[in-house]
Chain A
Amino acid sequence: MKVVIDDDRCGGHGVCVGLCPDVFELTDDGYAEASTDEIPGEYEDAVREAIGACPEHAIKEL
């Protein structure tokens, strides 16, 4: 599983960071950033939760 964040949509809410801090982080500019690597199995559930919880629907599974 891999994910990407649409910078045009990201509102910097940080919900994904709260749900899965091991995969998502907020950059210094306040936008969310996802690890570009294959997501380790143990985080998949949390990442799916983050995809569903993003207020701007900015996270996409690749």
Chain B
Amino acid sequence: MSELEQLDFFTDQTLVADPYPYMEAMRSGCPVRREPHKNVMMVTGYDEALAVFGDSENFSSCSAVTGPFPGFPVPLEGRSDDEVSELIDKHRSELPFSDQVTVMDPPTHTAHRALLMGLITPKRLKLNEEFMWNHADRYLEPYLAAGGGDYIRGFAAPFTLAVIADLLGVPEEDRAEFATRMDHRQGGVGATGSGSMTHSPLEYLYEKFSGYIDERRREPRADALTEMAAATFPDGSTPEVMDVVRIAANLYTAGQETTVRLLSGALLMLAERPDLQQLLRQEPDRVSNFVEEMLRLESPVKGDFRLARKSITIGGVDIPAGTTVMVMNGAANRDPRQFEDPDTFDVARSNARRHIAFGRGVHTCPGAPLARAEARVSIERLLARTSEITISEEHHGPADARRFSYVPTFILRGLTELNLDVVPAESSE
């Protein structure tokens, strides 16, 4: 083992700034490999990641967001397949976030996910996209007028919040309050620091959406919240109010932060590459593939966890029942067996879209089409309305010595702030 692979991926701050050499070192040793600190099996290869994501029978998602922290409530190692499987079913509800769709397994997962998919159908998203163009312009206005500033607080965060509020049909009069209450700038799940998780934005969402759903079940209106309130499980049964509320809240908790990181990563790339800006201004059709390549190269979710129910072999490596596995989307997306010259950004990469930034299998990110549309729309508008976007040297230092800070979590990958200088286009249309 080299020095790099001995670092603790879950706590080492140097890996927050740049996790990729570590991922590469792990993968070139073996794409399925145990790390020595938390005893987690790290899956860094593309095919191996697909094998785990595709097997929800043998890999439980019960600890998908928490992994080894705090770990499973009872020891699982050394037990038989049947014992492990039984213990998982018995104790999974004691794990954090156990009521969220992300950590459910089929068949419970299948029913709850269907509720979520009902909220973000392609048809619904198409309607939502029309609002996106307006929101993009609305939030760009002050940002451009100020000549730039922190792109995350000045644009990406308020824009993504507004889009989700639209999609869920949050009433206009409540939107300002939502924006204030949901402005949790960082931290949360997977923090590498020692701070505790804050539940308040989630509790706020629960309270608001319980109210909306209750009210609309009593008095239906012609709005998205009423559709949500009337949604049924695939077997025709009516979900509890809280089931629906959790699904709505999931759009915020899983969908906002990640999209903000995608947007800021893309803008960092653009700001450092005037040639790329010019290319995409001239040929906006290329923005879609640019977004795919950014998802591949800087996957906003570095990875998440699975718990082996049974002893199983992945990529020729034995994984005993009870093992915590971390599937690293960010590493799989730089697997040279799948992507040629994987560390190089290539706006025209022909297979960029094969990335697994949104995961695969039954837990594939339901918000992928939403995130893609948000990225495409906002980047197209920003490029159309500027003639120049550059990194603020005052904040991030000169070109040969840039300083950026990344969110201190082992789950998410992305900037904490991105200060840009922008020159509005002359005819700002």
State the A residues within 8 Å of B (CB): 10-15, 17-19, 21, 28-31, 52-53, 55-56
Contacts and interface: CB of A to CB of B under 8 A. Distances in A.
A52 B123 contact: no
Contact of B360 (A12, A21, A53, A56): A53
Interface in B12-63: 50, 54
B353 A11 contact: no
A28 B355 CA distance: 22
Interface of B: 50, 54, 117, 120-123, 125-126, 292, 351, 353-355, 358, 360-362, 364-366, 368-369, 372
A21 B125 contact: no
B346 to A, nearest CB: 16
The interface residues of chain A, by DSSP majority, are classed as loop
Contacts of A56: 117
A19 B50 CA distance: 13
A55 B364 contact: yes
Contact of A11 (B50, B54, B360, B366): B366
B139 to A, nearest CB: 23
17 contacts: A11-B366, A12-B122, A12-B125, A13-B366, A14-B368, A14-B369, A15-B364, A18-B292, A18-B353, A21-B353, A28-B126, A29-B126, A30-B125, A30-B126, A30-B369, A53-B50, A55-B362
Nearest to B355: A18
B364 A13 contact: yes
A30 B123 CA distance: 7
A13 B354 contact: no
Contacts of A10: 122
B149 to A, nearest CB: 33
Contact of B353 (A14, A31, A53): A14
Contacts of B50: 53
Contacts of B121: 11-12
Contacts of B54: 52-53
B123 to A, nearest CB: 6
